[in-house]
Amino acid sequence: MPLYILKRFIMMIITVLIIATLTFVLMRAIPGSPFDEERTSNPTIQANLEKFYKLDQPMPIQYLNYLKSIVTFDYGPSIKKPNESVNTLLARGFPISFELGMATIIVAVISGIILGTFAALRHNGIIDYMAMTFAVVGISIPNFVLATLLIQQVAVNWHLLPPATWSSPKHMILPVIALATGPTAIIARLTRASMLEVLTQDYIKMARAKGLSPFRIVARHALRNALMPVVTIMGTMLAGILTGTFVIEKIFAIPGMGKYFVESINNRDYPVIMGSTVFYSAFLVFMLFLVDIVYGFLDPRIKLHKKEGEV
Amino acid sequence: MDVIGQQLANASSLENAPAIKEHQPGSGIATEENRKQKKTISQEIMLSVRDLEVSFKTFGGEVQAIRGVSFDLYKGETLAVVGESGCGKSVTANTIMGLIPQPPGRIRNGEVLFKNRDLTKLNKKALREIQGVDISMIFQDPMTALNPTLKIGEQLMEGLRTHHKVSRGEAKRKAVEMLNLVGISNPEERLKQYPHQFSGGMRQRIVIAIALICEPELLIADEPTTALDVTIQAQILELFDEIQRKTGVGIILITHDLGVVAKIADRIAVMYAGKIIEIGNKREIFYDPQHPYTQGLLNSVPRLDLQEEELKPIEGTPPDLFAPPEGCPFAARCPFAMEVCERVYPATTQLTTQHTVDCWLQDPRAQSVIN
């Protein structure tokens, strides 16, 4: 197990490095610079600015500086907001985005699994049809459309919940619903499909022949086996939710990372682009790693490591 | 398969092929078998199936899987139910066990009497108190019958802990005892392992241990050796025999393998198209089969003692159970079929105390057929 984790860790570092390099190349491939403004400024000031941010040096040196900043986790100040370093931006914005993302994942997983399980247990029944109708609708409606609909109806017309910002748990409800509906629908469909398959397995029949209660059969024998595909999709879904937060944050005026991220690209704010991309990709790669670990716990047949003497 | 051949060869008094119309009551109750088996089969009926009819709704209509099955099981005996695929063997087993999903399944008629209760009329909760406790089931494929994500120990103990509310320690002690009984060495360690760490034969032993842990009175084994290697088959069959002698459990053995039957059955019920067409003790069925189908079944098994090169399969296919024939379902394939066979289902003829057959050839008006 420790060996496996070490191996995975090295792979994770390489992955992040590749992403970082690609980001660097793409970032510089976009025409324009952070100092482009409508009014052309004094060339000396421009040169001084470039010197201050070390943008006057040759590309390979800049790339090395960039790698160094990744390793030391110090990206320096933002170009557009000189008073704030990239780290303070991340420290301020990421926890909020993380909260939104995690709340979404938790809501999506729990409600998706429950919905899918009941749909499978009542196969071709009214619950099944309702759940699957919801799933199709949920997958089809983009989250930004749902977000604006929710604001219009729930917040503006009915005055039930606050329409924007991020200051109390009440404020979380609408953005989380908007963001979680799609993933919930996908998880529900997956759970249903794999649950239907598991329920026909011999070991379920055997569990019934043991005289176990229906609840125990589902909770203990069926669910764990049915969840494998759900865990598999969790990794990619996380990526989707993380990027989804950018849009949702914009709509609900949530002060998370999304705003800075999008702005930084528009402004060619190199340090912020680099910092947030590397941070996000590192986070995502780590989550994928967690998913693999969970996999091993769910299914003992998947071995994460080789024991001595075993093949 | 060759077990039969050997058995037939061993039985010195009966070297010839099964003959029709030659009742030999008492003859060939061979001695070697009886000496070996010290089983005690009492005359007490433990399970009684009466006129059972089960059907399944499908898109194409209603399949009449079982069309009036009746038999008794005595305490401590092994009854084998044989027949080709789709004849209703497994449906019979699942109905007794209460595992027929309703819908699409439907028990149209009949009763399954066990301990003075009709199992087909019990509600689910009452049924659960019998499932796994009084009646247990062993499934065909040990590779799929165990949950791959749960440890063997948990799968063994959960039935016991659900039904008898024993402590964890007590359950574990019992689980170890069961693994010992089914011949798995180092049980304490094995309890902590997962199914994929066992071979097929070992898994079937575990499935048997799970079935027996609550000390049931009746064990239903649905093709328990079909998915196993021949060498492992023999071991598992011996295990059945041994367990029956130790615990006195009654066994209903569903199989299409006559070799298995020859080895451990006391009585044999032959099923065809949802009906039991002949039932009798092992000797009567093997050496004195009366129904042409039973004869055909025996003839289609390779035998070592006969010099014939070719097997004699039963020509044709079983009838469509969406619309079963009115008369004898075997009539279309039967070499001795008469006009009456296609119109009216034959009455049951009692040949000996245990041997009965449903065939028009038993009627005094029928011509005698001699092979």
Predicted confidence (pLDDT) per residue in B315-368, tens digit: 778 888 888 888 888 888 888 888 888 888 888 888 888 898 888 888 777 776
Contact A211 B162 (CB under 8 A): yes
Residues of chain B contacting residue A295, judged by C-beta atoms under 8 Å apart: none
Paired sense of beta strands B45-58 and B61-74, if any: antiparallel
Question: Do the beta carbons of residue B104 and residue B62 sit within 8 Å?
Answer: no
Give the span between the Cα atoms of B222 and A139, in whole angstroms: 44
| ipTM of predicted assembly, 2 dp | 0.77
pLDDT for res A234: 85
Mean pLDDT of B38-55: 81
A289: Cβ contacts below 8 Å, ≥ 6 apart? A8, A12
B151 burial type by CB count under 10 A (0-12 exposed, 13-18 middle, 19+ buried):
middle
Q: Residue B187: which H helix or E strand, with range?
A: helix B187-190
pLDDT tens-digit readout, B193-210: 888 888 888 888 888 888
**Which pair of tokens denotes residue A181?**
């509906």
Name the one residue in this structure whose structure tokens are 């569990």: A207
What is the extent of the structural domain holding B147?
142-215
**Which pair of tokens denotes residue B131?**
């499932």
Q: Which amino acid is at B281?
A: N
Residue B206 covered by a domain = yes
pLDDT tens-digit readout, B136-186: 998 888 888 899 888 888 888 888 888 888 888 888 888 898 888 888 888
Neighbours of B127 (CB within 10 A): 19
Residue B331 covered by a domain = no
Give the span between the Cα atoms of A80 and B275, in whole angstroms: 87
Q: Which residues of A make CB contacts under 8 Å with B?
A: 201-203, 205-213, 216, 220-221, 224-225, 298-301
Number of domains in chain B: 1
Paired sense of beta strands B78-82 and B267-272, if any: parallel
Neighbours of A141 (CB within 10 A): 16
Q: Which of B129, B140, B194 sits opposite A211 (nearest CB)?
A: B129
| Residue B114 sits at the chain A interface (C-beta within 8 Å) | no
Dihedral of CA atoms A111, A116, A119, A122 in degrees, nearest 10, equals -100
How are strands ordered across the β-sheet holding B117-118?
Answer: B61-74, B45-58, B105-114, B117-118
Residues of chain A contacting residue B141, judged by C-beta atoms under 8 Å apart: 202
Residue B81 covered by a domain = no
**How far A105 CA lies from chain B's nearest CA (Å)?**
25
C-alpha dist (Å) from residue B195 to B97, B190, B352: 24, 10, 47
Residues of chain A contacting residue B136, judged by C-beta atoms under 8 Å apart: 209
Residues of chain B contacting residue A210, judged by C-beta atoms under 8 Å apart: 131-132, 158-159, 162, 210
Q: Return the axis-axis angle of helices B200-212 and A202-209, rounded to nearest 10°.
A: 20
**How far A251 CA lies from chain B's nearest CA (Å)?**
43
pLDDT tens-digit readout, B225-284: 887 788 888 888 888 888 888 888 889 999 888 888 888 888 999 998 888 989 998 888
Query: What's the maximum distance between 2 C-alpha atoms anywhere in chain A?
Result: 85
pLDDT for res A54: 77
Give the up-direction half-sphere exposure of residue B256: CA atoms within 13 A in the CB hemisphere. 13
pLDDT of B52 over the 60 cut:
yes
Contact A211 B99 (CB under 8 A): no
Give the span between the Cα atoms of A68 and A278, in whole angstroms: 13
pLDDT of B290 over the 50 cut:
yes
pLDDT for res A129: 94
Q: Residue B275: which H helix or E strand, with range?
A: strand B275-281
CATH of A99-256, one of 1.10.3720.10, 3.40.605.10, 3.40.35.10, 3.30.930.10: 1.10.3720.10
**Which pair of tokens denotes residue A250?**
């914009």
Question: Do the beta carbons of residue B153 and residue B213 sit within 8 Å?
Answer: no
Residue B347 covered by a domain = no
pLDDT tens-digit readout, B80-119: 999 888 888 888 988 888 888 877 888 888 888 888 888 8
Q: Which amino acid is at A77?
A: P
End-to-end CA distance of chain A: 15
Give the span between the Cα atoms of A179 and A176, in whole angstroms: 5
Contact B150 A220 (CB under 8 A): yes
pLDDT of B6 over the 60 cut:
no
Give pTM, 2 decimals. 0.78
The pair phi, psi for residue B65, each rounded to 5°, is -70, -40
* Chain A / chain B CB contacts < 8 angstroms: 76
Residue B355 covered by a domain = no
pLDDT for res A1: 66
Give the span between the Cα atoms of B115 and B136, in whole angstroms: 15
**3-state SS assignment for residue B278:** strand
Query: What's the maximum distance between 2 C-alpha atoms anywhere in chain B?
Result: 68
| Residue B128 sits at the chain A interface (C-beta within 8 Å) | yes
The pair phi, psi for residue B219, each rounded to 5°, is -120, 125
Where residue B289 falls among pLDDT bands split at 50, 70, 90? confident
pLDDT of A218 over the 70 cut:
yes
Question: Do the beta carbons of residue B160 and residue B211 sit within 8 Å?
Answer: no
**Which pair of tokens denotes residue A19?**
């992403």
Scanning every residue of chain B, which has its alpha carbon at the shortest distance from the alpha carbon of A206?
B145
Q: Where are the domains of chain A?
A: 99-256
Return mean pLDDT, chain B.
80
